[in-house]
Amino acid sequence: MAPWAAELLKHWLIVRSELAIAGRFLFPSTRTGKQWLKPSQYESARRVLEDAGADSQEGGSFRLRHTFAIRQLRRGTAPEQVARWMGIEPVKMKHYERVLPQPLEVV
């Protein structure tokens, strides 16, 4: 995990503990620990992107997710590792091959 991400996660866990947020989900949608469903998560990410001045009409949280995957792959992180972090099957990483720069064959 990147140091900046670890620091943010540590802070969130402290805040969560202080607020006594129940449940087993890392990022619940309510203080009672209710699961954060895809539509509400997507809408929240869209609002964050808009507040940051980014166009949120195209992709929302999926845009953030894909950006994370592509950046990690470009840095040389193994596709299997990125798949684990994203919670998907490694075969799904094939979707990113078409957007990554291909090596050039030098003759």
Residues 48 and 42: their CA atoms lie apart, in Å, by 10
Residues 66 and 90: their CA atoms lie apart, in Å, by 14
Residue in the block written with tokens 């947020």: 21
- Residue 53, helix vs strand vs coil: coil
The pLDDT of residue 107 is 57
In percent, how much of the chain has pLDDT > 70?
Answer: 90
- The amino acid at residue 55 is D
Q: What does the pLDDT look like over 16-48, one tens digit per residue? A: 999 999 888 888 878 888 888 878 888 888 888
Residues 20 and 14: their CA atoms lie apart, in Å, by 10
Q: What is the largest CA-CA distance in the chain?
A: 63
CA dihedral 17, 18, 19, 24 (to 10 degrees): 0
The pLDDT of residue 40 is 81
pTM: 0.59
